[in-house]
């Protein structure tokens, strides 16, 4: 697993700051805090799986209107992909759980089975066509701890190489010199996300840009904002997004539209845990007897949220 993609801004290394000849003191110690880990892995031999996922997603797109979230022009499925009953979905979820185990082992020294396992996954499909983008957003909410993207089809057609890039915003808080376009403020997640579609798409010169690649899986903190540059090809850019939930982790943060629920999780963990587990049991039991694409709206509202 490695970051094999380019950074659009330079990232200084850690350690002792050497004299720079600028008149300031030499020998400053530098310690990093708040950097955001992003893990990538390209699953080999994925062509058959991706073809099947593409067929499933486009089939669902042809029969359902989809949602309007942070997608600007693109189609986004209901957040129920994890419940679609198909072997390709099972394989995708297996890969997700396998990669997540490695991520947890990497980020939690001595991690036990209680946190390596027990993840609840929510997933949905995204299809972008000519000119479609995704506005800046994050995946915070409830017990969403990590988020992930799986690239099914980059839609690269030769006439539009390199479009539809996922770009992660630099959230280190480090002041950066303005180069060209200045970073812009984005609306908090939880506001009407469609309003972000009207703003400038470019948010910063120091963002980390990932190259789309079929079979690539990316895992990042759910709190990390990101956006997708315009797809300029003539085919379809297809990805699957995933929220990865676990009740035995916490994230340090301050007020956001989701803070109230996080406070509930911190201060009333027992009651929240009971409600969370009951909801998950009911959701899976209902899905077993009634296909999720036939659920009425009220059931979706009650059972599919985090
Ligand atoms: Fe996202």
Instruction: Kindly report the number of other CB atoms within 10 A of residue 95's CB atom.
Output: 18
What is the reported pLDDT for 82? 97
User: Consecutive 10-residue runs of the chain (306 residues): their mean pLDDT?
Assistant: 42 58 80 86 97 98 86 91 97 97 95 96 95 88 94 85 86 73 52 63 74 95 91 94 96 71 77 92 95 93 82
| Dist. CA 275–CA 22, nearest whole Å | 59
What is the reported pLDDT for 239? 97
Indicate the pTM of the whole model. Answer: 0.81
Residue 231 forms part of a structural domain: yes
Please tell me the distance between residue 111's alpha carbon and the centre of ligand 1 in angstroms. Answer: 26
Please tell me the distance between residue 209's alpha carbon and the centre of ligand 1 in angstroms. Answer: 14
| Dist. CA 261–CA 144, nearest whole Å | 11
CA dihedral 19, 22, 28, 30 (to 10 degrees): -100
Please tell me the distance between residue 138's alpha carbon and the centre of ligand 1 in angstroms. Answer: 6
Residue 259 forms part of a structural domain: no
Residue 262 forms part of a structural domain: no
Please tell me the distance between residue 54's alpha carbon and the centre of ligand 1 in angstroms. Answer: 19
What is the reported pLDDT for 1? 34
Integer CA distances (angstroms), 121 to 95, 100, 220, 261, 304, in order: 12, 11, 14, 19, 11
Please tell me the distance between residue 30's alpha carbon and the centre of ligand 1 in angstroms. Answer: 32
Residue 275 forms part of a structural domain: no
CB-based burial label for 102 (10 Å; 0-12, 13-18, 19+)? middle
Please tell me the distance between residue 18's alpha carbon and the centre of ligand 1 in angstroms. Answer: 38
Residue 285 forms part of a structural domain: no
Please tell me the distance between residue 212's alpha carbon and the centre of ligand 1 in angstroms. Answer: 14
What is the reported pLDDT for 179? 63
Give the CATH number of the domain where residue 195 resides. 2.60.120.620
Residue 284 forms part of a structural domain: no
What's the domain range around 245? 37-252
Pairing between strand 144-153 and 237-245?
A: antiparallel
Please tell me the distance between residue 116's alpha carbon and the centre of ligand 1 in angstroms. Answer: 23
Q: What total number of domains does the chain contain?
A: 1
Residue 115 forms part of a structural domain: yes
What is the reported pLDDT for 71? 80
Residue 272 forms part of a structural domain: no
State the DSSP string of 209-248. EE---TTEEEEEETT--EEEPPP-SSS-EEEEEEEEE-TT
Q: Facing residues of 119 across strands?
A: none
In the numeric block, which tokens belong to residue 302? 């009650």
Please write the tens of the pLDDT for every residue from 20-60. Answer: 677 788 778 888 777 899 999 999 999 999 999 999 999 99
């Amino acid at each position: 697993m490695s970051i094999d993609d380019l950074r659009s801004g330079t990232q200084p290394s850690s350690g002792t700051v050497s004299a720079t000849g600028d008149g300031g003191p030499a020998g400053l110690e530098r310690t990093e805090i708040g950097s955001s880990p992003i893990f990538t892995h390209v699953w080999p031999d994925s062509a058959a799986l991706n073809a099947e996922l593409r067929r499933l997603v486009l089939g669902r797109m042809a029969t359902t209107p989809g949602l309007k979230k942070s997608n600007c022009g693109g189609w986004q499925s209901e957040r129920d992909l994890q419940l679609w009953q198909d072997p390709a979905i099972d394989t995708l979820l297996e890969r997700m759980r396998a990669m997540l185990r490695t991520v947890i082992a990497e980020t939690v020294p001595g991690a036990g089975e209680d946190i390596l396992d027990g993840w609840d996954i929510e997933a949905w499909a995204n299809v972008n066509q000519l000119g479609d983008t995704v506005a800046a957003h994050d995946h915070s909410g409830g017990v969403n701890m990590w988020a992930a993207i799986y690239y099914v089809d980059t839609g690269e057609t030769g006439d539009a190489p390199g479009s539809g890039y996922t770009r992660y915003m630099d959230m280190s808080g480090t002041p950066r010199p303005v180069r060209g376009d200045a970073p812009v403020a984005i609306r908090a997640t939880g506001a009407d996300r469609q309003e972000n579609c009207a703003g400038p798409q470019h948010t910063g010169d120091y963002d980390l840009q990932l190259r789309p690649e079929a079979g690539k899986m990316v895992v990042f903190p759910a709190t990390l904002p990101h956006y997708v540059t315009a797809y300029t090809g003539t085919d379809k850019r297809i990805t699957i997004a995933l929220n990865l939930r676990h009740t035995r982790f916490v994230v340090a943060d301050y007020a956001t539209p989701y803070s109230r629920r996080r406070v509930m999780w911190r201060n009333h963990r027992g009651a929240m845990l009971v409600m969370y587990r009951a909801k998950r049991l009911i959701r899976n039991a209902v899905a077993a007897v009634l296909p999720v694409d036939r659920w009425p709206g009220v059931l979706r509202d009650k059972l599919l949220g985090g």
